Amino acid sequence: MAKGSITGEHAVTLVKKLKAEVHTKRRGHDLVVVYFNDERLTQFGLRRGKKGQPHDHIPDALRLSRHDTRLLVSCRITAEQWVEMFTNDPNQ
């Protein structure tokens, strides 16, 4: 796994922090949907199975760099700050 990768443990922390909904699928992935004020902001897949499996697709879904995603996981960026960053992203 590459240094600084987003792991399944990070993904679970993000689900809790962003108060996301998890939709369980039959296969090895769950669908995580993030809402704010009843509006769907984004979604990403959450892999089940092997511990430590990389989830490096999540930063793209959150419109963050890998570094900023790790800051969100570690509470240096709050969920409210992320929503502000996400909704004001000039590239989207």
Domains of the chain by residue range: 8-85
Question: Would you write out the chain's pLDDT as a tens digit for each of its 92 residues?
Answer: 556 789 888 999 999 999 999 998 777 789 999 999 999 999 999 887 666 678 889 999 999 999 999 999 999 999 999 999 999 877 76
Following DSSP, what letter does each residue of 40-88 receive, concatenated?
EEEEEEEE-SSTT-B-TTHHHHHT--HHHHHHHHTTSS-HHHHHHHHHT
pLDDT at 47 (0 to 100): 81
| 43 φ/ψ angles, rounded to the nearest 5 degrees | -150, 155
Residue 6 has a CB neighbour count (10 Å cut-off) of 23
pTM of the model: 0.85
**Nearest-CA neighbor of 71 among 1, 6, 20?**
6
